[in-house]
Amino acid sequence: MFAIGQATSEDDGDVFARDMVVHTAIQESFPITSDIYEQLFDSLLGSELFTEWLQCKDHWQLHVVGGPGAGKTTFAALVAKRLREVISASEEQTCQLANIFINHHRIEHELAFLEDLLNTIYNQVSPPSCDVDPATDLAYGAYKELLRTGQRASKRIDSIAQALRLRTAELAKKGDVVLIIDHLEQCSPALRELVQQQFNILQDEGLKILVTSRLPRHEPAVSVWCDYHPEDLPLKVFWRCSKCQQTDICITCKREDTPCQQCDSVGTWKAAEYYTLTLDGMSDDAMVEYLAWDLEREHGDLGFMTLEDPSEPPLSSFGLAFRNTMHGNKGLEWIQAIARYVDGSILQAKLAVDRIHSLPSPEALDLMPKRIPRNVQAHFNTAIKTIKQQSTNSSSVALKTIAAVGRKGDAIRGLPLSRLANLLRERPRNPRMSTMPPRSPEDVLESANGYLNIIPPPFLGREPTIAACHRLFWFFVNDEYNEDLIWAYAQLPTSKVPKSHTFQSPLPRQLSAFQLPVSSSRRESSDSIKGLGLVFSPSPMISPPEESALDSH
């Protein structure tokens, strides 16, 4: 008697296994194209946090977190590219690298994805030219046999996981073994937990893991200082005594083998399971460099010296107008003003230069618009459509929360979590109701798909707040640009929007001007908070840009 689907021939194996293909959500590379400014993340790649993750003997995960359009995939691809260059230049060849780019918004066949993810990592760190320990090779052969004979998924996953653990431990004894995985938030919460469990095991075996995601791991925000240098700034990387759990030290103390004051012993220091590197909020200097590079790549030599050959490309009509009007430091000041208004957002910087490319001259740029630029509206409307594609329960929580933050919260600090919980609270739950209220802020952030952030309290005694990912998104909600958010706001208990208003015709309506938010700012600046977007002044010479959805990665 043969198992269902299993062939009678011992050599042919399972009839379904013959046609197996790798899960389509798994992509092994991402191209660095000519329109990517590779120096944008230099400060992050040279940061203490990134350097320690790469060089430290302790194995902890580096979680690279950024909102929509923050450049997470580009960052992951650049890290992979630079590591491969280092590996190629090394004579010892003691480092192995695997990189995975998840390219599906919704992952189906989750067990197949998990199996193929582990198998792809194994194959990348075990190229044909490398020696493999016999025990590891035997374990991987056992997995291939389970696959060939059509054994159930749980057996195959356990088998490939065991082979990968052995391979990781083997490589870690000789050098570094690194995994870069992009867009982990594309996995469902359940699948993400399964993947993370495997990563934790591999981390203990010596795997260095870099994960990019829109969603940070939800943990209470705590500031940590070095107990031996309390006058310094809070630590981004720290080690805690594993015995007393009371003493924290910095990198310098760790390198000097400083003993714990409480335990009077050395070698008890343990790093955290992971640290977070944030891509949101790029510095103004980095933004100025990016804007200058992009504009000169499109319009020719504007005087910013980013071109290898100043004659290529030739000056466009905008470039000629720029050179004729922006004398002295005016050009740099113009770029710096744009950098301030995009407020550290790579996405908003890209949308800004898209609009600038259509201008006849730099004077046509309006830094004080009364309406959100059309390509920004298009991006946010697409984001809301994506959120609506979730389950009814998740999309309802997300839309109500976004509406509450935009209508009841501050543009910068957002809304206290306790107030949000009160706004989302519904009548006593009926056991037969199909909806499931959120159990923690993590559920709310998950449903909002990266368009909301938790902001730690400014000092002890205050509670965290939940805020829009960018102040332009807050204005988009507050000024009622989206009908779905108007409807969601009408469902809140304190809403004063008439129910009839939520059933208005979907025809375009008159959009209101920006409203001044509560006086609060992330930066100390006298700039008007109304200067948030970039549109060009009315002119018969040009037409408004087309509304189009932009890549939200």
Rg (CA), the chain: 26
Per the omega criterion (within 30 degrees of 0), is the bond before 458 cis? no
Sequence-ordered list of residues with C-beta below 8 angstroms from that of 46, at least 6 positions apart, any chain: none
Look up tokens 């194996």; give the residue. Answer: 13
At 14-55, the pLDDT tens digits run 888 777 889 999 999 999 888 889 899 998 999 889 998 988
Residue 496 — pLDDT band, cuts 50, 70, 90? low
Whole-number Å distance between alpha carbons of 459 and 549: 39
pLDDT at 266: 65
Whole-number Å distance between alpha carbons of 50 and 56: 10
At 364-405, the pLDDT tens digits run 988 777 889 999 999 999 999 999 999 888 999 999 999 999
Closest by CA position to 268, among listed 247, 242, 238:
242
CA 490 to chain CA mean position, Å: 31
Q: At what angle do helices 153-174 and 189-204 cross, to 10 degrees?
A: 40
Three-class SS of residue 213?
strand
pLDDT at 209: 96
Whole-prediction pTM: 0.82
* pLDDT greater than 90 at residue 518: no
Look up tokens 């955290």; give the residue. Answer: 272
Q: 101 has which bridge partners?
A: 27, 182
Whole-number Å distance between alpha carbons of 50 and 274: 12
Other C-beta atoms lying within 10 Å of the C-beta of residue 13: 17
DSSP letter for each residue of 5-58: TB-SSTTT-BTTGGG----TTEES-----TTS-GGGGHHHHTSHHHHHHHH-SS
Look up tokens 């944030």; give the residue. Answer: 278
Whole-number Å distance between alpha carbons of 348 and 474: 14
Whole-number Å distance between alpha carbons of 54 and 210: 10
3-state DSSP: the chain helix, strand, coil percent, rounded to 5?
40, 10, 45
pLDDT at 517: 37
Q: 465 has which bridge partners?
A: 416, 455
pLDDT at 334: 95
pLDDT at 267: 63
Tell me the average pLDDT across 121-130: 92
Tell me the average pLDDT across 169-190: 93
Whole-number Å distance between alpha carbons of 93 and 57: 18
* pLDDT greater than 80 at residue 222: no
Under DSSP, the state recorded for 427 is S
Q: What would the two tokens of residue 514 be?
A: 């920006």
At 65-91, the pLDDT tens digits run 998 889 999 999 999 999 998 888 776
Picking from 152-161, 185-194, 245-254, 392-401, which range would have the lowest pLDDT averaged per residue? 245-254
Work out the mean pLDDT of the chain and round it to a whole number.
83
Give the neighbor-by-neighbor strand order of the sheet with 452-455. 415-416, 465-468, 452-455
Under DSSP, the state recorded for 429 is P
CA 423 to chain CA mean position, Å: 28
Whole-number Å distance between alpha carbons of 238 and 443: 28
pLDDT at 93: 67
